[in-house]
Structure 1
Amino acid sequence: MNTGSYFESIDEHRYKPTPHASGAWSVDEQHFSPLGGLLVHAMDRHLAQRRRTQDLPDDGLLLSRISFDILGRLALDEIEIRVETLRPGRTIELLEAVALIAGRPVVRARAWRLAAADTSSVAGGAAGRLTSPQEVAPWPMESVWPGGYIASIDVRPLAPPQPGRTTAWISTPLDLVAGQPSSALASYVALVDTANGIAVRRSPTEWMFPNVDLTLHLHRQPVGGWTGLDTTVTFGPTGQGITSTVLHDVEGAVGHAQQVLTVRPM
């Protein structure tokens, strides 16, 4: 097994997770973060195949929102991903990708792609740049969470993590899929779900707070290398919580992410 990636390709639609994809709530399950990136990777391949088979130029549409609904247990087992275009269009398009394990849907992702245009003259309103990841020290996140995924990432908080509040940079030396180049966006998205683990309000040995979804809204396409997470976690009084994140790359803010949590005592 290739140990330099989160997944290995079996064929055009099927992938095998490596041990680096495991954890964190259970080491015999997949961490959702790299699987989210894999779904974007599959969408990229779907679009590239469509251009090749129909002899089309790049349509210039940009992925601007992607929502993931986690439908069931993410066993550390072979994944099949099916992608289709739900709403075609020249300026607005909706894609859907479904991940299946043992023939059962476990994640459903929908992505809006919007036309690109030069709006630099009116751009504004985004948060400022974070301190460079080169200027902050790594933090051993594996002291809080188990699993191969957590062990594989470089986590650099701008200040010591506090209950419910952390700003941190995340990167990984691993490929998303062995032997396949991934887009900057897929590689970026593959680290975003880490947000729910960097600012824990209560110890995960005492309380469970898994997210059942992840939604990203992007006002700019991220560049690769580092994923910046400016994260706040809120627990409500009736078993629900929200992890809210301002997303950054090294050039500044790129959008927002939200995760809804089910909060339960262990």
Structure 2
Amino acid sequence: MGPASGLLARALETAFPREDLQLCRISYDILGVIAAQDSTVEVEVVRPGRTIEMIGARMIIGGRTAIRATGWRLATADTAAVVGGTPEPMPGPDAWPGYDISGLWSGGFIDSLDFRVDPASVPGHCRAWLRTPIDVVAGEPSSDLVRMTGLIDSANGIAARRNPREWMFPNTDLTVHYFRTPRLDDGNGWIGIDATSTWGPNGIGVTSAVLHDTHGPVGRSEQILTLRPIPTCQHQEAS
């Protein structure tokens, strides 16, 4: 979902460009398995407007829609005089040690990530910085917003409450709100995630995160989860 969300964010940002509007909210619905196959991205203007515009995109794999995304573009204005309510910034990435996440997660995307994790993190709540050297589209520059968006789905993984070898907790959506445009102009591409995962008693959970660049908070994300034990673990416990 990480690379796919970055690709769709790029489509929402660059298709039918409007320099007077800023992409501020992206909502993804994951409609099925995101297969590592050739895909097609289609984009349309859903709700045109002078100061508010909705644009939609979908990723088609094997003849079916795997992900559907919508984005709100809003007019910008100078509101520096009334700034307020932003969360506290996190310590910078140099404040925390590197972390090998391969003990919990594996795969090509995970292997491409560099992590710095707060040693005080616990299952269900984690603060981390992460980055990747890989472009969203090979050989083509992407905006800082697109680069950040392509990593945000990792929030659910880093805030896992249980070992993913024992429990499944996939998210079926991802919603990102930006109250400030991300600035990764430090040259190293770090994005910060302060993520909390809450599991309810009826098989449903939610992962919420505050998103940061090295200048401070930039927005929030939410992911709804479906919770279930992995069957092999159930059998082992029963025996």
TM-score by length of 1: 0.83
The code of the aligned residue for 2:14 comes to: R
SS of equivalent to 1:121:
helix
SS of equivalent to 1:189:
helix
Q: Considering only aligned residues, what root-mean-square deviation do their CA atoms show, in Å?
A: 1.0
Tell me, yes or no, if the aligned pair for 1:157 and 1:167 is still in contact at 8 Å: yes
In structure 1, the gaps of 5 or more residues are 1-31, 49-57
* Structure 1 ranges of 4+ moved more than 3 A: none
- In 2, the alpha carbon distance for the partners of 1:240 and 1:254 equals 27
- In 2, the alpha carbon distance for the partners of 1:172 and 1:229 equals 14
1:257 to 2:226 alignment: no
Displacement of 1:160 after TM fit? 4.5
In structure 2, the gaps of 5 or more residues are 231-239
Q: Quote the residue 1:36 is aligned against.
A: 5
Q: Quote the residue 2:56 is aligned against.
A: 96
Q: Quote the residue 2:123 is aligned against.
A: 163
Tell me, yes or no, if the aligned pair for 2:112 and 2:132 is still in contact at 8 Å: yes
Match of 2:84 among 105, 124, 127: 124
Displacement of 1:235 after TM fit? 0.7
What is the count of residue pairs matched by the alignment?
226
SS of equivalent to 2:57:
strand
User: Cα deviation per residue 1:9-52 (whole Å; 9 max; x = unaligned)?
Assistant: xxxxxxxxxxxxxxxxxxxxxxx01110000112233134xxxx
Tell me, yes or no, if the aligned pair for 1:161 and 1:198 is still in contact at 8 Å: no
Q: Quote the residue 1:190 is aligned against.
A: 150
Displacement of 1:185 after TM fit? 0.7
Tell me, yes or no, if the aligned pair for 1:64 and 1:218 is still in contact at 8 Å: yes
User: Cα deviation per residue 1:59-100 (whole Å; 9 max; x = unaligned)?
Assistant: 321111110000001111011000000111111000000000
Q: Quote the residue 2:211 is aligned against.
A: 247
Match of 1:228 among 173, 189, 192: 192
Match of 1:66 among 17, 26, 30: 26
TM-score by length of 2: 0.92
Percentage of identical aligned residues: 48
Tell me, yes or no, if the aligned pair for 1:196 and 1:211 is still in contact at 8 Å: yes
